Amino acid sequence: MRLLKRNTIEFEHLAYKGKQEVLDDGRHTGRWNPQYADPVVCRGTIDLPSGYVSRELFGINVDYTHVLSMDKVNASIKEADLIVYGEDQYEILAVRKCLNFTFIAMKVLPEFKWQRPVPEPEPEPEPEPNTGTVDET
C-alpha cells in the first residue's frame, strides 16, 4: 500500500561516473571531486527507519538516516550514487533487492557534493539593421 503512486514522491538519481582531480594553477593538489551523470527522475517513498525489519534488512553496522523504497527490482541505483530530493542530498549506503521491491539505506549529507548546473542564457537576437528611412503608411 505504501508504494501506491499517490504515496510516492519524485526524486533525482545521480549515477556515479568517477573522480576528477582538483588542480590549482595546473598543479596537483591530491584532492579529488566525484563526478556524477545527469540526474534521472525516479519515484519512490523516503521514510525514517524504524522497527525490527529495517535493522534486519540492513544490519546494525550501517549508520543510515532514511530508507528509500522502490517497486522496481531492476533499479540501477548503486552504493556510490546520490539521491537529491528538494534541497537535501542523500548518500547511498546499502541497497537490498527483494522479490518485488528495492530498499535503499541513505544518509543525509551535511554539505552539498553536487551543484545543479546553471543553464547558460540564450544570446539575444541581433537587431535588424535600420535603413534610416521612416515608413509612414
Kindly indicate the confidence band of residue 2, based on its pLDDT and cuts at 50, 70 and 90: low
Distance CA 117, CA 78 (A): 23
Kindly indicate the confidence band of residue 47, based on its pLDDT and cuts at 50, 70 and 90: confident
C-alpha to C-alpha distances, 38 to 13, 16, 51, 66, 117, nearest whole angstrom: 8, 10, 35, 23, 10
The proportion of the chain whose per-residue pLDDT surpasses 70, expressed as a percent, equals 80
| Domain covering 5-21+32-108 assigned CATH 3.40.50.10470 in the classification | no
Question: What is the arithmetic mean of pLDDT over 39-57?
Answer: 77
Does the pLDDT value for residue 101 go beyond 70?
Answer: yes
Distance CA 87, CA 17 (A): 22
How is the chain split into domains, by residue range? 5-21+32-108
Cell of 41: 527522475
pTM: 0.69
The pLDDT value recorded for residue 98 is 81
Please give the mean pLDDT across all residues of the chain. 79
